Every structure is written in C-alpha cells, then in structure tokens.
Amino acid sequence: MNSMFELHNLLPAIITIAKEYLGVKRISLMLIEDDYLKMYAHAGFEVDQSSVNIRLGEGVAGKVAKTGIEVTANKSDIVKEVLGYQASSFMSVPLKKGDKVLGVLNLTDKEDDFFTEEDVKIARYIASQCALGVDRFNLYSDMRKSENLRVIGMLNSSIAHDIKNLLNIVQSYLELMALEKDIKPEMQEYIDAIHSEVKRIHGLTMDILDFSRQRVSMAIETFPLAELFDEIRKHANIMTRDTAISVEVSVSDDIIMTVDRGKIFRVIFNLVSNAIDALSVSGKVTLSAVKDGEYCVIRVKDTGKGISSDNRKKLFQPFFTSGKAKGTGLGLAIVKMIVEAHCGTIDVDSEEGVFTEFTVRIPYDYESVKELHRQR
C-alpha cells in the first residue's frame, strides 16, 4: 500500500476492503484540505452534496479532524445523540502523522451492533496506514513541484544566454535597417514595433530566470500609467481581432508610476491575456486604475467563465493551469512574484459563469515605499 502513489485509486481500494473486514454498512474516508474535510472515498451509501465538504470543528467528523481525538459510540441512543440520526454504532478515527491530523476514517452500523476492542484496534491500524500513504503522497507531490522548478532552472540558465545573444543579433539588424535611406514612415513604425517587442522578449526571459532563482531584479523608471495602458490596449485589440470581445480601458492621465515598467507591463498583460482566454469569443474585459493613498489600484475584470473556489486557492501556484490547451501555469505565479517584489498585493474575486476580477495594489513610487518597508 505504501508504495502506491495514486491516492485516488488507493483510498477507495482500502475503503472497500476495510468495509468487508470490519463488517460495517457504511464507511468513508475524508481528508483535510485548508479548513475543510473533503470526502475522498466512501462505500455503502450515496453521497449527498452537503456531506462532501465539512468545515473543521463541525459535526462529529469535523470535531475529530480538529481535535485528533477518536469517537466511538456503541449504543443506538448515544449514536443518535452524537450523529443526529439513527444508527446502531459509530466510530470516527483520525488519520494522524505525528501530531498532525490529515483526515478522518468514519465507520457506521457494525453488523453485530457494536464495535469490539479488536475492531477499534483494526480501525486505528487502517487509519494509521492511510495516514502514512497520504503523507507519502503529499511528500511526492511537493517533490514533483520542486523537481519541475529545478528542471526549469536548468533549462533557463542554458537557453536564456542563447536567447539574449540571438536577440542582440536581431537588434543589430534592426539598427542597420533604420540606417537605410528612404525608409517609408510605415516601415519605420514596423521597425520600432519589432524593437519594442524584442525588448519585451528580453524582459520576459529575465522574468523566467528570476522566477527560477526566486529573486527579482528591478529596473525602476518613471512614466505615466496611461502610456502603459495604451500599449496594453493595442495588444488586446490585436488578440481580440476576430472576436466579439470588447476591451475597455480607463485611467486618468495624472497617475505617474516609478516602478519596473517592463515587469508591471507583464503583470497587466498576463491578467488581460487570461481574461481574454476566459471569454473565448464574446464578452467584456475592463482594465482600470485609481489612486488610493500612496498606492495605485489596478483592476482587470472580465465577464467570462469565472473560477471555482477550489481553483481559486491554487491560482498562484507554479504550473497550475486549467481548461487551456497550451497553458504552462506560470503566468500568475510570475505575476504574484513581481507584485510582491514591488511591495504590493494581488487579490481575486469571482463568481462561476459570471465574472472574474483581479485587483493589484502597487505603490506609485516603489523606491519610497521600499524605503518605508526597510525602516519598519
């Protein structure tokens, strides 16, 4: 059992065997995720939605999960009092790794009416083995995540250097083109556009490098936020060209930022790209910015598919992607890292099928806020 890493196959298999072995009518195994106990495997009954997620501390299983203290009730009147419904006997055993409770094993209605001491011992043993399996699975998942980061790190250091060299060559050719006589004004416009995109790819390479080293290098400059929003608007218009998606941008001209322009561009660009992806063919994306004390509050809202509360918890984790054919799941992890490096915060609000809104708070003047943070 402890060599199996597929928890979703392992737990139902254990539950089925334990149900037969202990001779109970109903059995369930629930694991703790954040503040909830979630049903992972069950046998002998249909699950109704209200019992899939139980808040820690609520109901018998919720209390066992919170306190780590096992509950056994062998008389039907006591069971009714404890459970709130009729059953001959009941047992709820915590899954523990050291002092940490990982979940709960629930057994209801023993066929001979009550649990013997032997049954209790067996149930404890099954719970302890499940806990071991769950703990190993968690350890394995963490290892996979850090292994991914390690591979990205290796990949980056070997290719980032090559990308930079190649970009330098492109840049040199662009400069040569700009020296040509009789360049039409449109051609000059195209050359400028390629120039700025090349700079952007360079910045993106640096972001990914920063990400793999978990360190952000900053290049601070002062500029009007309206200028940056204008660039985003142009990109968004290109991305939504063949769709019925409208992109509305509102920002006042007096918001002047002193931050890493390239990085903040990528923050907003990532959020707007995700918003457009969430709409697929029609709907509205709104990008806005307002002042709030020494902070600037930037909001990106879309009328798209929304994000489930389960997914909302994982959004900023590296490699979390869902519902996309080509997502790498690094976008929001990088966004968060950049925002926090600017002493800012990012929050998300969403209703499935209705809307999603990301709110970024960053200081206008990163240098002065950084100084304040340092003094504190």
Per-residue tokens: 169 = 């060559």
Nearest residue (CB) to ligand ATP, 244 versus 354: 354
Task: Pick one of 304, 336, 339, 360: the residue that binds ligand ATP (CB under 6 A).
Answer: 304
Cβ distance to ligand ATP smaller for residue 251 or 315 = 315
Residue whose token pair is 């993106």:
204
Structure tokens at 42: 């069950």
Please tell me whether residue 274 binds Mg ion under the rule CB under 5 A: yes
96 or 305: CB nearest ligand ATP: 305
In the list 91, 267, 356, 363, the residue contacting ligand ATP (rule: CB under 6 A) is 356
In whole angstroms, the minimum distance from the beta carbon of 298 to Mg ion comes to 17
Beta-bridge partners for 292: 295
Q: How far is the CB of 321 from Mg ion (least distance, A)?
A: 8
Q: Under the criterion CB under 6 A, does residue 331 sit at the interface with ligand ATP?
A: yes
How far is 91 from 27, CA to CA, in rounded Å?
10
Nearby residues of 74 by Cβ (< 8 Å), 6 or more positions away: 89, 113, 114, 115
Residue 205 lies near ligand ATP (rule: CB under 6 A): no
Pick the closer one to ligand ATP by CB: 131 or 337.
Answer: 337
Burial of 73 (0-12, 13-18, 19+ CB in 10 A): buried
Please report whether residue 65 would count as binding ligand ATP according to CB under 6 A. Answer: no
Q: Are 311 and 366 in contact (CB under 8 A)?
A: no
Chain positions 306 to 325 lying near ligand ATP, rule: CB under 6 A, are 307, 315, 320-324
Whether the CB-CB separation of 247 and 287 falls below 8 Å is answered with yes
Q: Which residues pair with 203 in a beta bridge?
A: none
Site string for ligand ATP, 240-279 (x = CB under 6 A): ------------------------------x---xx--x-
Cα dihedral: 366, 372, 375, 376 (round 10): -110
332: contact with ligand ATP by CB under 6 A: yes
Q: Which two tokens stand for residue 301?
A: 């809202």
Does 286 bind ligand ATP (CB under 6 A)? Our answer is: no
d(C-alpha 195, C-alpha 177), whole Å? 11
* x/- map, 329-358, Mg ion, by CB under 5 A: --x---------------------------
Residue from 12, 44, 224, 329 touching ligand ATP (CB under 6 A): that is 329
Q: Which does 304 bind (CB under 5 to 8 A by kind): Mg ion, ligand ATP, none?
A: ligand ATP
Residue with Cβ nearer Mg ion (62 or 304): 304
The amino acid occupying position 46 is: E
Between 19 and 266, CB nearer to Mg ion: 266
Residue 183, burial from CB neighbour count under 10 angstroms (0-12, 13-18, 19+): middle
- CA gap 250, 289 in Å, rounded: 7
Q: Which residues bind ligand ATP (CB under 6 A)?
A: 270, 274-275, 278, 302, 304-305, 307, 315, 320-324, 327-333, 356
Q: Which residues bind Mg ion (CB under 5 A)?
A: 274, 331
